[in-house]
Structure 1
Amino acid sequence: MENKKNDSGNDYKYIRISYNLTEDTPVHPDLAKITITPKNQIKEGDSYNTSVITAENHSGTHVDAPAHFLKNGRSIFTYDPNELTFKKPLIVDCPKKPDELIHEEDLSPTLKHYNVDNLDFDCILIRTGFGKYHDTDTLKYLTKNPGISPEAVFYLRSNLPKLACLAIDTVSMSRYGRMEEMIRVHQTAFSANDGLGKPLLFVEDLDIESIPTAGSLEEVMVIPWQVGGIDSAPCTVLVKIKSE
């Protein structure tokens, strides 16, 4: 892809940090496996190729909207593309071992590097390093993932008034097998509360390792499947980075 120039004259390029959906895609243990079934096939004498794809709406890289956990929460198909384009993203490196929690103190050192008046980040990408197990140890990736604590979500919402999206390189924002913790994590993010800005979106199951070092990330675009009536959806995620 040819590099382009942004408004400041710097070269940049787009890269994709969402995974392909395949029949081997790791999906949360509570979900059905993805199936991709050829229907019409040129090699079988048909005039064209088609396939039937069966996938639950939280399969692979996907975006959770508030309706995922809240009765009156907003559904992803109602979001305007401009609400899914984030101009001030930040990567937070937070190395974690299997099944560990991400706490406030894991996140605060990165934020403290910035002046309190400049905490206008609209998208935080948490890089735990756990994505290395996506293709090498599926069972570990799906059942031993690190997750963020409800208190850490509240901390981010309290300190970043423009925050609209939280993303992570694990299969879920919450740890596997802890129902009460999972509910609290999602409801803390999705609930409308005075003084906490807009309810968040979660983007889960990302390949954040492919993003270069801090300072190169300029923009994040989340592009969900356009399916009416569903709470959340698989998505493509593109990031704009400065070229080296």
Structure 2
Amino acid sequence: MALLDISHQLWPGMPKIPILPEVERHQVASIADGAPLNISAITLALHVGTHIDAPAHAVDGAKTIDELPIERFAGSAVVAKVDRKPGEEITVDDVLAGGPAPERGEFLLVATGWSEKFLSGDYADHPSLSPELATWCVEQGVPFVGVDMITPDLPVHRRGAGFDFPVHRTLLGAEVLIAENLTNLDAVAGQRVHVHAYPLAIRGGDAGPARVVVETLAETGGTR
């Protein structure tokens, strides 16, 4: 097996949506200042960087990230390669053309290549999943959807009045988990892989920062 990290690092000043506070890192104790150990602390919103959305993010009273069983965060996945422009919707046909069809119980990771823009302003203007694709995922029994974009919904500046996050509401309303801000998906595009996407078990959290890793079959490239 070969391991591939598909998560972004966390650092002060990293890209984020405007409504979220900046990531901050604090030095609590320093060996250079006479402390016996180095100790630092970090302050961040739960939706900065690579993270997993819990159902409670979109549905009041739904499960929080700590209430989900650990089995929900690992499984076989299809990585669909999709080529769409900013503001365009990613459809069911796009996903089926981009890799094997996910079987019931398999995760779906959507590789758009947008993570290459993570450090530029262009990252905020991305494609989005169509509401029909979200509904299809629920109907197909896909339990987990991951994207290499800041959100599977429309970019902030393309939302009209009354926008209600239809992709989030459809997926999370059916307890289909969402991973956002993935990276390196192009390396496994069109393949089947095994995903490990374990978020921090933050009590009452509507999301959890995560280190997401995929296993590929070294001899076959992960296909089957």
For the superposition of Structure 1 and Structure 2, which TM-score range results when normalised by the shorter chain? 0.7 to 0.9
- Please say if residues 147 and 181 of structure 2, whose CA atoms lie closer than 8 Å, have aligned partners that are also in contact: yes
1:77 matched to 2:66: yes
SS in structure 1 opposite 2:104?
A: coil
C-alpha contact 1:15 1:240 (8 A) present in aligned 2 = yes
TM-score, length-scaled by structure 2? 0.88
Query: SS in structure 2 opposite 1:237?
Result: strand
Runs (5+) with no aligned partner, structure 2: 220-224
Name the amino acid aligned to 2:179.
V
Amino acid at match of 2:41: V
Checking the alignment, whether the CA contact within 8 Å between 2:79 and 2:193 is kept in structure 1 is no
Residues 117-149 of structure 1 show CA distances to partners (whole Å, capped at 9, x for unaligned) of x833520000111111012x1x2213x122112
Does structure 1 residue 101 correspond to structure 2 residue 89?
yes
Corresponding residue for residue 6 of structure 1:
none
The Cα shift of 1:100 comes to: 2.2
**Over the residues paired in the alignment, what is the CA RMSD in angstroms?**
2.0
Deviation of 1:223 (Å): 1.0
**The one of 194, 203, 207 aligned to 2:183:** 207
- Count residues in correspondence: 216
How far residue 182 of structure 1 moved from its aligned partner, in angstroms, is 5.0
Task: Report whether the alignment pairs 1:186 with 2:168.
Answer: yes
Cross-structure match for 1:150:
131
CA–CA separation in structure 2 for the residues paired with 1:98 and 1:213: 20
What is the rounded CA distance, in whole Å, between the counterparts of 1:141 and 1:72 in structure 2? 32
Distance in 2 (CA, whole Å) between partners of 1:75 and 1:188 is: 17
The answer to which of 73-82 and 102-111 deviates more is 102-111
**Which amino acid is 2:24 matched to?**
T
Aligned to 1:175: 154
Aligned partners of 2:167 and 2:189: how far apart in 1?
28
The 5 A counterparts of 1:24-39 are: 24-39=13-28
SS at match of 2:165: helix
| Structure 2 counterpart of 1:220 | 195
Moved over 4 A (4+): 179-182
Please tell me whether the aligned partners of residues 98 and 190 of structure 2 are also in contact (alpha carbons under 8 angstroms): no
Structure 2 CA distance, aligned partners of 1:210 and 1:23?
26
Identity within the alignment, %: 24
Please name the residue that 2:222 is paired with: none
Q: 1:23 aligns with which of 1, 4, 12?
A: 12
